[in-house]
């Protein structure tokens, strides 16, 4: 069956009161952007609290649905049949041919759910339900009505035109990107940080990202992998400005000056400082990390407190209560997992102590950082100045 | 400055090769299977390329078959010969240090019910002839051995091995993976007793995606790629005319002014080794340590430096090399099986880098590389894991 129109269902936007139109406009904008990836020409229109995507001419159904599934704020995607109101008999015929094509077995249970937005239509919703149900039963004797748990929920909406659909393809949910400000994601090559970016972006937040590169201890391929991951997140979040910071000299300096078991914590503190710098520079309202309590030494409550201390901005940690498997599940869902597990990262392991501190004492950490006083400001300044900015979309 | 010292991975295509490839693509682009003049003209390229290659090996052009490269040649030689000679026996002998293009087909043949013996190697990566002698038995149908080891440049005793095999039973087929050796050694299959010989084009300044398999005329072998019956039905698929033309020219070039090319490589290698010897805590692997081995491959362990880190540090300075091994902390990346088979200590396994040269390599590049090593090694050694 070929559909010419999709009805887009959206959820939470509906409850946003007077700001509702802002959210709807953002959603329309995001849908238009996402559809550029699909083959075909589309018209996206807002009408009576609904969003419709009209397909102008030939288009690729799978690609279109896939593009729409990547738009935050979309709860459901319904391929609809649109027909002019040419009397009840004509409507019944259209409905019967719709069911005939969509459900070849014709032995399911069903329920008609009519909605009469145009109140001058000669039948009430209840009458339409009953009358259409009867016509369907006549046409397909193998089908039965079940008003509680039908296998097919046939929606018929009477507006200027009549919309018929029964299939709701689940969307990504969340809020349209751009309705909730911007945040800076600390992106590594691992499994967690792309998922964290996805989760925050899902709440309508635009994303920029920062990656700490340590050549020659990490390779060009490790960097390419991070760009690839940013691209995967950008399929949901929209374009990302990726900041690639050369962190080698800072790392080596910390390595020389500070106790090795504190390396990771001190390194992370400098990463946060640099990330915050770029966040402020680009108008982000917070930082995002993929941390989850207790996952590694640097993610114990004490370590998180120690890294958190250097930032004045809020740090969002959407995975904080997730188990690894739960993170992996989302990573698989958004198509990042395969890329995340490519093994390029490990050359950095010389900077990881065999027994890193798990309960860092802030006073001791601050004292260790004091040993960096001579050069660290210059090194941070150079790192910021030499940062490469890559537009990823 | 740039120094491309990874010629065992691939080489720069020669300009003359590029030109003939372009000509065969844009002017003489016919299909040799076509009956018209355009097809005949294209066929001429194939015949000439076959003749050029045959001349370098002193074999008949009828014994040269074009393939998509070294991997296909190895796969075809092993699987094709094993399947065709199954009635004579099911035992195959190879070495533990072969390239994956040999080891993987061997694993496949094992699944198909063949018995495979892997000959061990000594500390330089060289097989022992007495092991080969002991492994031969009446079920043996095929022996496969590389000419030059791709990771450490060790030369395997191919000539002596062929003699042992043929004296034991002339019916046993002897395959040689000559992918790192062709163009660097004069190889005469008929005199040596080689029945099958694999060669790759892009290792000798030819195009990628080209190669050939020499198949002695009496060798029983089955085709692996079936179709339109090209190359006497032995390797179907529209002939890669540009590739074959480029390969033929590259083969001819490799063996013209051969002695000069070899002495150039020898001078480069000697210069490199001399200066490497001056660096503290370095160990040259393979036969190069004793002045032997391939003229273009040197494998060096730099103690206390992770090979991959050194590779990236060199790359930042425009020097391109290969690391035989990878981070041992990462279980997903296998450490080089060749170095492992040579029973190197793990400190050496982790720190071994391969430098490989070509006729294009200059003394200046070598000097630049060594200068950079002198500067980098102490720096990298300061930051090792404790």
| Cβ–Cβ contact A340 with B under 8 A | no
**Axis-axis angle for helices A125-139, A88-102 (nearest 10):** 50
| Position B332 pLDDT exceeds 60 | no
Residues B43-56 have a mean pLDDT of 97
Residues A53-60 have a mean pLDDT of 93
**A252 vs B311: CB contact, 8 Å cut-off?**
no
Q: Is B327 a catalytic residue?
A: yes
Q: Which chain B residues are Cβ-neighbours of A256 within 8 angstroms?
A: 382
Residues B160-165 have a mean pLDDT of 98
| Position B326 pLDDT exceeds 80 | no
What's the pLDDT at B323?
87
Structure confidence by residue, pLDDT tens digits, A334-349: 999 999 988 775 545 6
Residue A176 maps to a domain: no
* A365 and A249, same domain (yes or no): yes
Nearest Cα neighbor of A220 from A376, A340, A344 is A344
Work out the mean pLDDT of chain A and round it to a whole number. 92
Residue A196 maps to a domain: yes
* A26 and A47, same domain (yes or no): yes
Nearest Cα neighbor of B383 from A263, A213, A15, A330 is A263
Q: Which chain B residues are Cβ-neighbours of A343 within 8 angstroms?
A: 330, 332-333
What is the domain extent for residue A137?
5-170
Which of A145, A170, A195 delimits the end of a domain? A170
Work out the mean pLDDT of chain B and round it to a whole number. 94
pLDDT band, residue A49 (cuts 50/70/90): confident
* A153 and A202, same domain (yes or no): no
Structure confidence by residue, pLDDT tens digits, A62-72: 999 999 999 99
Containing H/E element for A244? Answer: strand A240-246
Q: Which of A215, A218, A350 minimises the CB distance to B383?
A: A350
* A207 and A145, same domain (yes or no): no
Name the H helices within chain B.
15-26, 37-57, 70-75, 81-84, 100-111, 129-135, 158-168, 189-192, 241-254, 258-277, 307-316, 337-341, 346-349, 363-382
Q: Which chain A residues are Cβ-neighbours of B383 within 8 angstroms?
A: 252, 255, 350
**Fold (topology level) of B257-382:** 3.90.1150
CB contact residues (below 8 A), chain A span 193-252, against chain B: 215-220, 252
| Position B184 pLDDT exceeds 90 | yes
Interface ipTM: 0.77
The SS3 call for residue B227 is coil
* A244 and A164, same domain (yes or no): no
| Position A178 pLDDT exceeds 60 | yes
Q: List the single residue in B with minimal CA-CA distance to A255.
A: B383
What's the pLDDT at B331?
45
**B327 vs A218: CB contact, 8 Å cut-off?**
no
Q: Which of B306, B316, B386 minimises the CB distance to A347?
A: B306
CATH of domain B15-254: 3.40.640.10
CB contact residues (below 8 A), chain A span 349-378, against chain B: 349-350, 354
What's the pLDDT at A295?
86
Q: Rounded to a whole number, what is the largest CA-CA distance in chain A? A: 88
Q: Which chain B residues are Cβ-neighbours of A252 within 8 angstroms?
A: 383
Q: How many CB atoms lie within 10 A of CB A135?
A: 17
Assess contact for B122 and B128: CB atoms under 8 A: yes
**A216 vs B327: CB contact, 8 Å cut-off?**
no
Assess contact for A34 and A176: CB atoms under 8 A: no
* A149 and A205, same domain (yes or no): no
* A11 and A89, same domain (yes or no): yes
What's the pLDDT at A158?
94
pLDDT band, residue A207 (cuts 50/70/90): very high
Q: How many CB atoms lie within 10 A of CB A239?
A: 15
* A150 and A199, same domain (yes or no): no
Please tell me the distance from the alpha carbon of residue B284 to that of residue B273, in angstroms, as a whole number.
8
pLDDT band, residue B384 (cuts 50/70/90): low
Q: How many angstroms separate the CA of residue B293 from the nearest CA in chain A?
A: 31
Residue A64 maps to a domain: yes
Q: Which chain B residues are Cβ-neighbours of A216 within 8 angstroms?
A: 309-316
Residues B343-372 have a mean pLDDT of 94
Q: How many angstroms separate the CA of residue A341 from the nearest CA in chain B?
A: 10
What are the domain boundaries of chain B?
15-254, 257-382
Q: How many angstroms separate the CA of residue A343 from the nearest CA in chain B?
A: 7
The SS3 call for residue B117 is strand
| Position A386 pLDDT exceeds 80 | yes
Q: How many angstroms separate the CA of residue A190 from the nearest CA in chain B?
A: 14
Assess contact for B38 and B384: CB atoms under 8 A: no
What's the pLDDT at B124?
95
Please tell me the distance from the alpha carbon of residue A45 to that of residue A10, in angstroms, as a whole number.
14
B202 DSSP 8-state letter: G
| Cβ–Cβ contact A344 with B under 8 A | no
Assess contact for B93 and B117: CB atoms under 8 A: yes
Q: How many angstroms separate the CA of residue A304 from the nearest CA in chain B?
A: 25
Number of compact structural domains in chain A:
2
If you count residue pairs, one on A and one on B, with CB atoms under 8 Å apart, how many are there?
Answer: 43
| Cβ–Cβ contact A347 with B under 8 A | yes
Please tell me the distance from the alpha carbon of residue B238 to that of residue B68, in angstroms, as a whole number.
12
pLDDT band, residue A208 (cuts 50/70/90): very high
Nearest Cα neighbor of A251 from A269, A236, A237 is A269
Q: How many CB atoms lie within 10 A of CB A160?
A: 12
* A230 and A86, same domain (yes or no): no
Assess contact for A208 and A241: CB atoms under 8 A: yes
| Position B346 pLDDT exceeds 90 | no
Residues A316-340 have a mean pLDDT of 95
* A380 and A303, same domain (yes or no): yes
Q: Which of B310, B312, B385 minimises the CB distance to A215?
A: B312
**A217 vs B309: CB contact, 8 Å cut-off?**
yes
**A220 vs B386: CB contact, 8 Å cut-off?**
no
Work out the percent of chain B whose per-residue pLDDT is above 90. Answer: 90
Name the H helices within A107-219.
125-139, 192-202
Residues B255-272 have a mean pLDDT of 97
Nearest Cα neighbor of A112 from A159, A65, A144 is A144
Q: What angle do CA A181, A183, A185 make, to 5 degrees?
A: 155
Q: pTM score, two decimals?
A: 0.84
Which of A141, A170, A199 delimits the end of a domain? A170
Q: How many angstroms separate the CA of residue B71 from the nearest CA in chain A?
A: 25
Name the H helices within chain A.
20-35, 61-69, 88-102, 125-139, 192-202, 220-237, 248-257, 263-281, 301-308, 324-333, 337-340, 362-370, 376-385
Q: Which chain A residues are Cβ-neighbours of B329 within 8 angstroms?
A: 346, 349
Cis status, amide bond into B162, omega within 30 of 0:
no
Which of B304, B305, B309 would you mutate first to test chain A, the one with the most A CBs within 10 A? B309
Assess contact for A198 and A173: CB atoms under 8 A: no
Which of A150, A170, A190 delimits the end of a domain? A170
Domain containing residue A82: CATH number = 3.30.2130.30
Domain containing residue A193: CATH number = 3.40.50.620
* A117 and A226, same domain (yes or no): no
Structure confidence by residue, pLDDT tens digits, B66-104: 999 999 999 999 999 999 999 999 999 999 999 999 999
| Position B333 pLDDT exceeds 80 | no
Which of B305, B326, B329, B381 would you mutate first to test chain A, the one with the most A CBs within 10 A? B329
Strand-pair partners of B283: B301
């Amino acid at each position: 069956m070929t559909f010419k129109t999709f009805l887009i269902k959206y959820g939470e936007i509906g409850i946003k009161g007077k700001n509702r139109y802002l959210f709807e406009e953002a959603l329309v904008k995001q849908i238009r952007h996402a559809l550029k990836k699909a083959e075909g020409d589309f018209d996206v229109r807002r009408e009576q609290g609904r969003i419709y995507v009209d397909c102008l001419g030939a288009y690729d159904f799978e690609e279109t649905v896939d593009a729409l599934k990547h738009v935050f704020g979309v709860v459901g995607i319904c391929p609809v049949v649109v027909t002019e109101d040419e009397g009840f008999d004509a409507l019944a015929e259209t409905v019967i041919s719709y069911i005939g094509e969509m459900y070849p077995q014709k032995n399911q249970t069903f329920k008609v759910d009519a909605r009469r937005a145009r109140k001058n239509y000669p039948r009430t919703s209840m009458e339409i339900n009953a009358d259409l149900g009867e016509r369907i039963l006549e046409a397909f004797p193998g089908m039965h009505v079940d008003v509680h748990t039908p296998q097919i929920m046939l929606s018929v909406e009477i507006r200027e035109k009549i919309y018929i659909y029964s299939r709701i393809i689940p969307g990504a949910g969340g809020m349209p990107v751009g309705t909730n400000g911007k945040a800076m994601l600390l992106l590594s090559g691992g499994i967690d940080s792309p998922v964290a970016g996805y989760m925050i972006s899902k709440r309508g937040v635009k994303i920029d990202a920062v990656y700490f590169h340590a050549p020659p201890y990490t390779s060009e391929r490790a960097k390419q992998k991070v760009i690839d991951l940013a691209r995967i997140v950008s399929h949901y979040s929209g374009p990302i400005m990726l900041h690639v910071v050369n962190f080698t000299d800072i790392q080596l300096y910390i390595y020389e000056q500070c106790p090795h078991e504190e390396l990771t914590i001190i390194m992370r503190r400098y990463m946060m400082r640099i990330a915050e710098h770029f966040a402020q520079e680009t108008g982000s309202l917070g930082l995002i990390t993929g941390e989850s309590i207790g996952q590694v030494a640097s993610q114990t409550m004490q370590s998180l407190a120690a890294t958190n201390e250097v930032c004045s901005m809020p740090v969002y940690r959407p995975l904080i209560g997730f188990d690894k498997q739960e993170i992996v599940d989302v990573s698989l869902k958004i198509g990042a997992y395969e890329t995340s597990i490519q093994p390029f990262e490990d050359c950095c392991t010389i900077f990881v102590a065999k027994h890193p501190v798990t309960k860092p004492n802030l006073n001791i950490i601050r004292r260790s950082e004091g040993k960096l006083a001579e050069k660290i400001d210059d090194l941070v300044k150079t790192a910021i100045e030499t940062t490469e900015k890559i537009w990823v979309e | 400055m740039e120094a491309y010292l990874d010629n065992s991975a691939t080489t720069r295509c020669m300009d003359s090769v590029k030109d003939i490839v372009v000509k065969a693509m844009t002017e003489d682009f016919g299909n040799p299977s076509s009956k018209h003049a355009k097809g005949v003209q294209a066929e001429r390229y194939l015949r000439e390329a076959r003749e050029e290659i045959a001349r370098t090996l002193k074999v008949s052009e009828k014994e040269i078959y074009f393939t998509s490269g070294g991997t296909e040649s190895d796969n075809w030689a092993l699987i094709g010969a094993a399947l065709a000679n199954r009635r004579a026996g099911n035992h195959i002998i190879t070495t533990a240090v072969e390239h994956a293009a040999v080891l993987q087909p061997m694993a496949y043949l094992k699944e198909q019910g063949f018995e495979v013996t892997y000959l061990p190697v000594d500390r330089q990566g060289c097989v022992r002839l007495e092991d080969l002698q002991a492994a031969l038995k009446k079920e043996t149908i095929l022996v496969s051995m590389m000419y030059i080891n791709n990771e450490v440049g060790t030369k395997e005793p191919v000539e002596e091995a062929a003699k042992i095999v043929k004296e034991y039973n002339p019916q046993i087929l002897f395959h040689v993976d000559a992918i790192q050796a062709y163009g660097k050694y004069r190889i005469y299959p008929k005199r040596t007793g080689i029945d099958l010989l694999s060669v790759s084009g892009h290792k000798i300044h030819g195009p990628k995606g080209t190669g050939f398999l020499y198949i002695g005329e009496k060798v029983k072998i089955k085709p692996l790629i079936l179709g339109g019956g090209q190359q006497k039905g032995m390797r179907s698929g529209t002939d890669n005319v540009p590739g074959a033309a480029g390969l033929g020219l590259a083969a001819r070039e490799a063996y013209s002014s051969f002695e000069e090319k070899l002495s150039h490589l020898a001078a480069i290698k000697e210069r490199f080794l001399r200066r490497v010897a001056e660096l503290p805590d370095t160990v040259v692997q393979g036969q190069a340590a004793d002045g032997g081995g391939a003229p273009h491959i040197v494998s060096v362990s730099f103690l206390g430096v992770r090979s991959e880190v050194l590779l990236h540090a060199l790359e930042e300075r425009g020097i391109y090399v290969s690391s035989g091994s990878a981070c041992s902390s990462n279980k997903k990346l296998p450490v080089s099986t060749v170095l492992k088979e040579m029973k190197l200590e793990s400190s050496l396994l982790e720190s071994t880098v391969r430098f490989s040269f070509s006729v294009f390599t200059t003394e200046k590049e070598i000097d630049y590389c060594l200068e950079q090593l002198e500067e980098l090694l102490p720096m990298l050694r300061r930051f090792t894991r404790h």
